[in-house]
C-alpha cells in the first residue's frame, strides 16, 4: 500500500506491505453542527455548569478577559465580540473590561499583533494589554509547591473570563481550561515549577485525571478563581468546529471529549515501526514544530521500536535554546535530568525528545545536514522509503507498521 506524507511543500511516499500495516491514522470523519462565530454564540447561550455569562456579572465589577497570545491558533477575534456583548448585557461598562493576552514564557506583542488577535472592535472598545510577569500578586502556593503569582490585572479583577483552544498537549494532557492562568499569566518561576512535572509518566497527551501537571494547573486556577471559560476546538485548518463555555472544569472536559471524537485513534497494539509526519508546510518548517508529531507517535511505537519522523525542517531547529540543549547534552538521558532541575522554554522540547529516545530509535527524514542530525541523537535518512526498508530489515518480515500522515493532530491509544 502506497502512503503519502506531507513534506514541506511536497510529499514523501512509502510502499508499505499490507500484511505489515496495522493502521493508517487520520482524523475521524465528523459532521459539525456549527462553525466559527456561530459555534461560539451557541456555547455562550448554552453554558455548561454555570448560568449565562450575562447573568453572572453585575454593574460596577472589574472584568478581566484572559485570551491566548500570538503563538496559539485561537481565533480570539471571532469570540471576543460575543463575550463583550454578554458582559454589556449584564451591566458591565466598557471602562471596566480589560483584555489580557496570556504571554506565559513568550515575548511581548506589537500593537499590530494585539489588534489582529482581539479584533478591531474589541481593541477600540476596551483596554487590551499583555500580561506582565514583573507585576504580579502572590495568591498562594499549590500542593506541588508552585507559587500562584498572577499578573495584577487578572488577580485584582472582580470577575475572570478565560478563553482558549483545546488540543492535545504533550504534558498537560490537553490545552485550554485553567492553562490560561497557569502558565498563561503566571511568573517564570511558577511556570518552571509546574513544568518540571513534565517528566512524570502520567504527564502526557490525552491524560487528565491522574496527570500531576494538569492537576497542578487546575489547583492554581482554583486558587486564582476562574469564573467562566470559553474554549474552542479547531479543525486542521484552524477553524472553530465546536465551542464550549461555562465552568472551568465541566466545560473544559466537554471540549476535551469532543476533541477525542475527532482525533483520538484506537489501535489494537503498538507497532515496531511508526511513520509520522506533521502534514507538511507550514507545520514542519522546523524541528521545534515537528516535535509535536513525534510526541504523539511515541504512543504508537513498541519499546525498542523505530519512529520515522518526516519533516522538511527547512528552517532548521526553530529555537536557539532548543538547539543549545540538544547540541550540548552529553547524552539524551541527561536532558531529562536537567529539565527536572531547571525548566527552560526550548529546553523542554529537547527533554521531550530525550524521553522518546528512552524507548525508541528516531530516524529523521529532513533537509537538515546529516552530520548535525547525528549530533542531536537522531538517525538521518535520505527518504521515507529507505528508512522504512532499513527498519523492515532490522525487525524482520513480520514487522508491524503504523502510519500517521497527520501526526500532530492524531493521538493513538491502545484499546
Note the pLDDT of residue 316: 96
Section 277-297 average pLDDT: 92
Work out the pLDDT band at 184, boundaries 50, 70, 90.
Answer: very high
Taken in order 105, 162, 290, 350, is the CA torsion positive or negative?
positive
Q: Each residue of 302-346: pLDDT tens digit? A: 999 999 999 999 999 999 999 999 999 999 999 999 998 888 888
At 91, is the secondary structure helix, strand, or coil?
A: coil
What distance in Å separates the CA atoms of residue 110 and residue 128, rounded to the nearest whole number? 12
pLDDT digits (tens, 9 = 90+) for 40-60: 999 999 999 999 999 999 999
Residues 6+ apart with CB under 8 A from 31: none
Pairwise CA distance, residues 274 & 25, whole Å = 11
Confidence at residue 340, expressed as pLDDT on a 0 to 100 scale:
87
The whole-number average pLDDT for the span 14-20 is 96
pLDDT at 72: 81
Whether omega before 313 lies within 30 degrees of 0, making that bond cis, reads: no
pLDDT at 283 exceeding the cut of 90 = no
Average pLDDT score over residue span 57-68: 97
Q: Does domain 2-27+264-414 have CATH number 3.90.226.30?
A: yes
- Which fold is adopted by the domain 36-234? Rossmann fold (3.40.50)
**In the chain, domain spans:** 2-27+264-414, 36-234
Helical residues (DSSP H) of 205-319, grouped into ranges: 212-224, 250-263, 287-297
Residue 326 has phi, psi (to 5 degrees) of: -70, -40
Average pLDDT over residues 150-177: 96
**Secondary structure (3-state) at 154:** helix
Euclidean distance between CA atoms 408 and 257, whole angstroms: 18
pLDDT at 345: 82
DSSP line for 99-148: EEEE-TTSPPPPHHHHHHHH-HHHHHHSEEEE--TTSEEEEEE-TT--EE
185 vs 83: CA distance, rounded Å: 20
Nearest CA to 363 out of 389, 399, 337 is that of: 389
CA-closest candidate to residue 92, choices 47, 36, 158, 13? 158
Arithmetic mean of pLDDT, 163-183? 95
Looking at every residue in the chain, the average pLDDT score rounds to: 95
Quote the CA–CA distance of 175 and 229 in Å, as a whole number.
13
Cα(200)–Cα(343) distance, rounded to whole angstroms? 14
Distance CA 383, CA 12 (A): 7
Instruction: Give the model's pLDDT for residue 399.
Output: 98
- Percentage above 70 pLDDT, the chain: 100
Average pLDDT of 221-240?
A: 94
- Please name which of 239, 271, 318 lies closest in space to residue 412, comparing C-alpha atoms: 271
- Cα–Cα separations (whole angstroms), residue 373 to 109, 115, 327, 345, 382: 33, 39, 10, 21, 12
| pLDDT higher than threshold 80 for residue 71 | no
The three three-digit cell numbers of residue 129, written as one number: 494589554
Give residue-wise pLDDT tens across range 90-103: 999 999 999 999 99
Phi, psi of 379 (to 5 degrees): -105, 115
Amino acid at each position: 500500500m502506497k502512503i503519502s506524507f506531507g513534506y514541506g511543500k511536497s510529499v514523501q511516499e512509502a510502499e508499505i506491505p499490507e500484511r505489515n500495516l496495522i493502521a493508517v491514522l487520520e482524523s475521524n470523519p465528523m459532521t459539525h453542527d456549527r462553525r466559527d462565530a456561530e459555534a461560539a454564540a451557541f456555547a455562550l447561550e448554552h453554558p455548561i455548569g454555570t448560568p449565562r455569562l450575562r447573568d453572572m456579572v453585575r454593574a460596577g465589577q472589574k472584568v478581566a478577559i484572559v485570551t491566548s497570545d500570538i503563538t496559539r491558533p485561537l481565533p480570539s477575534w471571532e469570540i471576543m465580540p460575543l463575550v463583550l456583548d454578554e458582559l454589556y448585557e449584564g451591566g458591565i461598562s466598557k471602562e471596566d473590561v480589560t483584555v489580557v493576552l496570556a504571554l506565559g514564557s513568550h515575548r511581548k506583542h506589537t500593537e499590530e499583533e494585539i489588534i489582529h488577535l482581539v479584533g478591531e472592535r474589541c481593541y477600540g472598545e476596551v483596554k487590551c494589554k499583555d500580561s506582565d510577569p514583573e507585576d504580579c500578586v502572590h495568591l498562594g502556593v499549590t500542593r506541588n509547591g508552585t507559587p500562584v503569582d498572577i499578573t495584577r490585572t487578572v488577580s485584582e479583577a472582580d470577575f475572570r473570563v478565560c478563553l482558549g483552544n483545546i488540543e492535545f498537549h504533550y504534558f498537560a494532557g490537553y490545552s485550554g481550561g485553567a492553562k490560561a492562568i497557569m502558565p498563561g499569566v503566571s511568573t517564570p518561576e511558577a511556570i518552571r515549577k509546574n513544568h518540571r512535572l513534565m517528566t512524570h509518566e502520567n504527564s502526557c497527551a490525552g491524560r487528565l485525571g491522574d496527570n500531576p501537571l494538569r492537576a497542578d494547573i487546575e489547583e492554581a486556577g482554583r486558587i486564582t478563581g476562574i469564573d467562566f471559560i470559553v474554549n474552542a476546538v479547531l479543525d486542521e485548518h484552524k477553524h472553530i468546529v465546536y465551542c464550549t463555555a461555562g465552568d472551568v472544569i465541566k466545560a473544559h472536559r466537554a471540549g476535551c471529549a469532543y476533541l477525542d471524537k475527532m482525533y483520538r485513534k484506537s489501535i489494537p497494539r503498538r507497532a515496531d515501526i511508526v511513520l509520522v509526519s506533521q502534514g507538511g508546510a507550514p507545520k514542519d518548517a522546523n524541528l521545534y514544530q515537528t516535535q509535536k508529531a513525534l510526541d504523539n507517535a511515541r504512543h504508537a511505537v513498541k519499546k525498542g521500536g523505530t519512529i520515522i519522523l518526516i519533516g522538511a525542517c527547512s528552517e532548521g531547529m526553530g529555537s536557539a535554546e532548543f538547539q543549545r540543549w540538544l547540541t550540548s547534552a552529553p547524552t539524551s538521558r541527561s536532558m531529562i535530568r536537567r529539565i527536572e532541575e531547571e525548566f527552560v522554554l526550548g529546553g523542554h522540547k529537547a527533554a521531550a525528545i530525550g524521553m522518546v529516545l528512552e524507548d525508541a530509535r528516531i530516524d529523521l527524514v529532513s533537509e537538515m545536514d546529516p552530520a548535525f542530525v547525528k549530533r542531536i541523537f537522531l538517525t538521518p535518512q535520505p527518504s521515507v522509503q529507505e528508512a522504512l526498508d532499513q527498519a523492515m530489515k532490522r525487525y524482520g518480515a513480520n514487522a508491524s507498521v503504523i502510519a500517521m500522515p497527520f501526526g500532530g493532530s492524531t493521538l493513538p491509544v491502545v484499546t
